[in-house]
Amino acid sequence: MVPDGTFTLTSGTPESRQPRRDRDGAVCLDIDIDGDGVIRRVSLADTTSPMDGLTLIAMNGRQVWPGFVDAHAHIDKCHTWGRAPNPDGTLLGARAAAKRDRLETWHYDEVYRRMDFALRTAFAHGTIAVRTHLDSQEGRTEPCLSAFLALRSDWASRVVLQGTLTLGAAKLAGPWGDSVADWAAENGLRLGPVVYDGPEGKALLDRAFDLAETRGLELDFHVDETDDAAADGLTRIADTVLARGFNGRVLCSHACSLARRTEAQAERTIAKVHAAGIGIVSLPMTNLYLQDRNPISTPRWRGITLLRELKRAGVAVALAGDNVRDAFHPYGDHDLVDVFRDAVRLGHLDLPIGDWPRAVTSTPAGMLGLAGRSCIAAGARADLVIFEGRDYTEVLARHGRGRIVIRAGRGISPELPDYRELD
Ligand SMILES: [Zn+2]
């Protein structure tokens, strides 16, 4: 059973029969994989016999997904909660804790070990590509940038690792902004301004777009990570893309406040985001943790952006992991199924679930320039995840049990690294 939207039937295969679909739109398929680990044919179940030389393996109705793509992580900070917890659970508390930890503890080996731990974990869960943000304020690029570059090459055969140099948009002013943009261009990275809406917003955005345009960089924003209904950086970014005719790829992550604006405002913004071709990355676990938190009361809103409205309007919407076991989010395990499960429950992405699994597979693959990866189709590498569960209720309830990760047609060891390695 393969999620709707995550596969392409091979042309020429019999399609005379109605596909066997479950009520969430998953389809029963036969997948022919050759000895080189390449998918040769994808057909409706029981409409073909296995290609010559292939062995038939009955999946007994298990769900099979393409490998996962995490479009937004912060593996420079992950697994630091133990020594740098967030004192009050707010975004400001998180920033202060992370800053202190960086100054006191981070050196090359320490950072490399945590980032490598994150990649081993993600790999074991079935992830094929990760884009991480790297804090890039003045004086803070090292040791993470060096560790990232080493890991990108050390992991190249197993996980596509991409990086974004991330810092407050105001910090791009002056020579530091040029330096960051130059490093991004030299090292195949993206520029990642963090946008807080305000009166100076337009000038800051113009500076970010100037830096990107002159160097041919993609822009990978954090924006509107707040419950303040007045925060509207997303519209400003869309307006800027449209006004300049910017043709580089633009991603916007979080966009929480969009869910706090009026229906009419949200509709206008979504139309502009669509027209500008901006992709939206939602980080449901972190947003749930940080948004609407105060010391005494129970949260009243879920913190997520308008996932369903954006997707309905034709905007590419991805779900990603963001922070793991750090001051911004003390939970998580670099597992996109965790993220997907939370998003389904928080955002009511069900009845039916339909093609929402694309939000952790082919949609972020497209955003990361990896179109064709993370899709079950003839000619693609057989990077798959096989669950024990046969429908979404079984998969999401026991998603870790019996999960088989296939890379290039072969099962990999699903061993997760031991937390004691980080002690
Ligand atoms: Zn982030």
The reply to whether omega before 352 is within 30° of 0 (cis) is yes
Per the model's pLDDT, the better-predicted residue between 407 and 401 turns out to be 407
* C-alpha closest to that of 62 among 411, 395, 400, 396: 395
Q: Phi/psi class of residue 308: alpha, beta or left (left: φ > 0; alpha: ψ in -120 to 50)?
A: alpha
Q: 322: CA distance to ligand 1 center in Å? A: 5
Residues near 342 by beta carbon (within 8 Å), at least 6 away in sequence: 284, 285, 288
Provide CATH 3.20.20.140 ranges for the chain: 68-367
CA gap 101, 99 in Å, rounded:
5
Pinpoint the residues of the chain covered by CATH 2.30.40.10.
29-66+375-411
pLDDT of residue 13 exceeding 90, the answer is no
pLDDT at 15: 61
In one-letter notation, the amino acid at residue 266 is A
Are residues 91 and 290 in contact, defined by beta-carbon separation less than 8 angstroms? yes
> First and final CA of the chain: distance in angstroms?
41
Over 70: is that where the pLDDT of 317 sits? yes
Residue 170 DSSP class: G
372: left (phi over 0), alpha (psi -120 to 50) or beta: left
Pull the structure tokens for residue 167.
Answer: 């810092």
Q: How far is the CA of 72 from the centre of ligand 1 (A)?
A: 6
- pLDDT, tens digit, for every residue of 263-311? 999 999 999 999 999 999 999 999 999 999 988 999 999 999 999 999 9
What is the reported pTM? 0.97
Q: Residue 166: is its pLDDT beyond 80?
A: yes
Instruction: Give the pLDDT of residue 200.
Output: 76
Residue 248 has pLDDT above 70, yes or no: yes
For residues 79 and 422, the answer to whether their CB atoms sit within 8 Å is: yes
Q: Which residues, including other chains, have CB under 8 Å from residue 77's CB and lie 6 or more apart? A: 98, 135, 323, 326, 327, 328
Measured CA to CA, the distance from residue 196 to residue 205 in angstroms comes to 10
Taking residues 384-399, report their average pLDDT: 97
CA of 12 to the centre of ligand 1 (A): 44
Cα 393–Cα 395–Cα 400 angle in degrees, nearest 5: 140
The rounded mean pLDDT for the chain is 95
Buried (b) or exposed (e) across 342-369, using 16+ Cβ within 10 A?
Answer: bbbebbebeeebbbbbbbbbbbbbbbbe
Active site residue 225: yes
For the domain made up of 68-367, give the CATH fold: TIM Barrel (3.20.20)
* Residue at token pair 């179940």: 45
Span 5-26, mean pLDDT? Answer: 87
- Distance (Å) from CA 247 to ligand 1 centroid: 23
* Active-site entry in 104, 225, 267, 394: 225
Task: Convert the pLDDT of each residue in 82-140 to its tens digit.
Answer: 999 999 988 899 999 999 999 889 999 999 999 999 999 999 999 999 999 999 999 88
Q: Are 186 and 217 in contact (CB under 8 A)?
A: no
Select the more confidently predicted residue: 170 or 13.
170
Residue 18 has pLDDT above 90, yes or no: no
The confidence score (pLDDT) of residue 14 equals: 66
Closest by alpha carbon to 211, among 232, 237, 235, 183?
183
Which tens digit of pLDDT belongs to each residue from 172-188?
999 999 999 999 999 99
Cα 323 to averaged position of ligand 1 atoms, centre (Å)? 7
Reading the block at residue 241, the tokens are 């893309």
- Could you give phi then psi for residue 120, rounded to 5 degrees? -60, -40
Examine the pLDDT at 198 and tell me if it is beyond 80. no
Q: What are phi and psi of 213, to 5 degrees?
A: -65, -45
Is the domain 29-66+375-411 a CATH 3.30.465.10 member? Answer: no
pLDDT exceeds cutoff 90 at 199? no
DSSP states along 184-234: HHHHT-EEEEEE--STTHHHHHHHHHHHHHHHT--EEEEE--SS-TT--HH
Spacing, Cα 223 to ligand 1 middle (Å): 9
16 confidence band (pLDDT: 50, 70, 90) = low
Quote the percentage of the chain above a pLDDT of 70: 99
Residue 137 CA, distance from chain mean position: 23
User: Angle at which helices 144-154 and 174-187 pack, to 10 degrees?
Assistant: 10
Sort strands 250-254 and 160-168 into parallel, antiparallel or unpaired. Answer: unpaired
Which pLDDT score is estimated for 35?
Answer: 94
Q: What percent of the chain has pLDDT over 90?
A: 89
Position 258 scores a pLDDT of 98
Query: SS3 sequence, 85-104?
Result: CCCCCCHHHHHHHHHHHHHH
> Position of tokens 């707040």?
226
E strand residue ranges, 267-335 = 279-282, 317-319
